[in-house]
């Protein structure tokens, strides 16, 4: 698999290099040179396969022979070790639950697959540092996926007091090779600190930096797989009228959806659903790129106003000659998210804020002859207080959350200054 840097096209790398590097020069994202297309017979037979075998085929169609197919199969098997159920919501709407992994959000797919691939491709004596920013759920997925891996140091930045207590407990109580830093600012600042570290060539050499953000291509390839799994559950007559609504923040999830469609997966159209951090909805409406200051919401994992993966979506649209005007969108403010959680509960489905936003926009956008599917991206228990308040229903914590909820938080706290982060990174890893 060859990939090019979207900003500096002359930089070309293999899948393994792209996974190790994360981000290209000039902060450009890597994008596949070739976008494979499978014919409808192949798609049909893929949709009949089991999740693991199909996922291997899909990832192989991009990666090619860079990874031995048996090794890849092991990575996929270890990474995707949990179910992906479809839940019926109403007449013409269902959702696919992507939160049955160990950290209860869809980030487990990408995080766990990336960890498997990296541990497969780094040399015995190679030491690397994974530096990543999280708006809430990536931190947990990455920490759990890399915990205890030899020669890998993980440093995670998150916006202080801007993620839920349970989200924080899930990854800031682990210790060992996992270090967590609460930055006194918002997610976009955390993301830009990470980018500064990647631009710091000296530092990069000294500690062999890698990013596990959704900018890492291995995470996106993993995410293609659950779109296929979701569609495989529907009968053929529904497949061609499927409208998929994706709760979006950094837009990695939606990018993976478009990569799935570009492979030939029959999805009629997508909806980009955001909270009031609505850079993309406003851009799609007006054509003007005008990010505002990030605002804290109850769907904190989507509190992003500079969505990193957007350049990949533009790239795929231009490569496929698709039209951005066909991408539907909507943004939802907290008040409506809360009342929508209540409405969903009345329909018999307890959902958390992010997924609820996707449902709300989908319901308003769906046409009569269409069938709606929204992605349920996190377990409601991760947002226990908010969900209980909105729905009036008691949420029982799953074991993954209850066992860490009383452990001490081990995070460092820093002001949002690059020099402070740099010094921290250069300190001997424990």
Ligand X SMILES: *Cc1c(COP(=O)(O)O)cnc(C)c1O
The binding site for ligand X (CB under 6 A) comprises: 105, 107, 136-137, 214, 247-253, 301-302, 354, 377-378
In this structure, are residues 351 and 332 in contact, taking their beta carbons and an 8 Å threshold?
Answer: no
- Decide: residue 43, CB within 10 A, 0-12 exposed, 13-18 middle, 19+ buried: middle
Min dist. Cβ of residue 70 to ligand X (A):
30
Min dist. Cβ of residue 173 to ligand X (A):
19
Per-residue HEC secondary structure of 306-370 comes to: CCCCHHHHHHHHHHHCCCHHHCEEEECCHHHHHHHHHHHHHCCCCCCHHHHHHHHHHHHHCCCCC
CA distance 45 to 319: 26
Min dist. Cβ of residue 294 to ligand X (A):
13
End-to-end CA distance of the chain: 36
In this structure, are residues 43 and 33 in contact, taking their beta carbons and an 8 Å threshold?
Answer: no
Using the minimum distance from each CB to ligand X, give the nearer residue, 25 or 365: 365
Using the minimum distance from each CB to ligand X, give the nearer residue, 55 or 167: 167
What angle do the packed helices 51-63 and 217-232 form, to 10 degrees? 140
Min dist. Cβ of residue 352 to ligand X (A):
7
In this structure, are residues 322 and 316 in contact, taking their beta carbons and an 8 Å threshold?
Answer: yes
Min dist. Cβ of residue 220 to ligand X (A):
9
Q: Which of 83, 90, 100 is nearest to 345 (CA)?
A: 90
Min dist. Cβ of residue 12 to ligand X (A):
25
Using the minimum distance from each CB to ligand X, give the nearer residue, 136 or 330: 136
Using the minimum distance from each CB to ligand X, give the nearer residue, 129 or 377: 377
Using the minimum distance from each CB to ligand X, give the nearer residue, 5 or 214: 214
Min dist. Cβ of residue 253 to ligand X (A):
4
Give residues with Cβ within 8 angstroms of 41, minimum separation 6: none
- Phi, psi at 76, each rounded to 5°: -65, -45
Using the minimum distance from each CB to ligand X, give the nearer residue, 18 or 215: 215
- Joined tokens for residue 82: 């949990």
CA distance 87 to 96: 6
Min dist. Cβ of residue 255 to ligand X (A):
8
Burial 330-362 (b: 16+ CB within 10 A, else e): bbbebebbbebbebbbeeebbbbbbbbbbbbbb
CA distance 425 to 131: 9
Using the minimum distance from each CB to ligand X, give the nearer residue, 72 or 212: 212
- Phi, psi at 177, each rounded to 5°: -85, 10
Using the minimum distance from each CB to ligand X, give the nearer residue, 74 or 192: 192
Min dist. Cβ of residue 301 to ligand X (A):
3
Using the minimum distance from each CB to ligand X, give the nearer residue, 251 or 270: 251
Using the minimum distance from each CB to ligand X, give the nearer residue, 146 or 383: 383
Min dist. Cβ of residue 163 to ligand X (A):
10
- Decide: residue 389, CB within 10 A, 0-12 exposed, 13-18 middle, 19+ buried: middle
Using the minimum distance from each CB to ligand X, give the nearer residue, 32 or 380: 380
How much is the CA Rg of the chain, to the nearest whole Å?
A: 20
Min dist. Cβ of residue 136 to ligand X (A):
6
SS3 265: coil
- Joined tokens for residue 256: 């993976």
């Amino acid at each position: 698999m060859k990939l090019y840097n979207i900003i500096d096209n002359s930089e070309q790398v293999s899948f393994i290099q792209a996974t190790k590097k994360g981000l290209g020069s000039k902060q450009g994202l890597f994008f596949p040179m070739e976008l494979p297309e499978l014919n409808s017979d192949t798609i049909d037979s893929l949709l009949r396969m089991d999740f693991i075998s199909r996922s291997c085929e899909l990832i192989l169609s991009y990666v090619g022979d860079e990874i031995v197919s048996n090794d890849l199969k092991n990575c996929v098997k270890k990474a995707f070790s949990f179910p992906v159920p479809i839940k019926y919501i109403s007449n013409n709407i269902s959702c696919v639950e992507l939160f049955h992994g160990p950290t209860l959000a869809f980030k487990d797919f990408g995080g766990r697959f990336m960890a498997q691939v990296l541990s497969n491709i780094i040399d015995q004596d190679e030491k690397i540092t994974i530096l990543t920013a999280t708006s809430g759920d990536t931190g947990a997925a990455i920490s759990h996926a890399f915990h205890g891996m030899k020669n890998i140091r993980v440093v995670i930045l998150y916006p202080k007091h801007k993620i839920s207590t349970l989200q924080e407990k899930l990854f800031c109580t682990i210790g060992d090779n996992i270090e967590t830093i609460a930055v006194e600012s918002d997610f976009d600042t955390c993301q830009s600190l990470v980018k500064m570290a990647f631009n710091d060539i000296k530092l990069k050499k000294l500690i062999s930096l890698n990013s596990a953000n959704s900018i890492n291509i291995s995470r996106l390839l993993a995410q293609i797989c659950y779109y296929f799994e979701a569609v495989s559950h529907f009968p053929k007559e529904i497949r061609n009228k499927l409208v998929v609504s994706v709760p979006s923040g950094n837009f990695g999830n939606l990018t993976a959806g478009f990569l799935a469609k570009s492979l030939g997966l029959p999805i009629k159209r997508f909806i980009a659903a955001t909270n009031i951090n609505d850079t993309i909805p406003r851009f799609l409406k007006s054509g003007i790129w005008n990010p505002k200051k990030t605002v804290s919401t109850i769907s904190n994992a989507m509190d992003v106003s500079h969505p990193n993966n957007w350049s990949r979506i533009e790239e795929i649209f231009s490569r496929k000659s698709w039209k951005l005007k066909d991408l539907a969108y909507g943004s939802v403010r907290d008040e409506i998210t809360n009342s929508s959680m209540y409405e969903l509960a009345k329909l018999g489905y307890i959902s958390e804020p992010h997924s609820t936003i996707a449902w709300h926009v989908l319901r308003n956008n769906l046409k009569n002859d269409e069938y709606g599917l929204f992605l349920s991206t996190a377990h409601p228990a991760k947002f226990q207080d908010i969900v209980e308040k909105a729905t009036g229903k008691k949420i029982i914590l799953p074991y993954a959350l209850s066992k860490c909820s009383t452990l001490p938080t081990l995070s460092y706290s820093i002001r949002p200054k690059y020099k402070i982060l740099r010094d921290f990174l250069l300190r001997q890893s424990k």
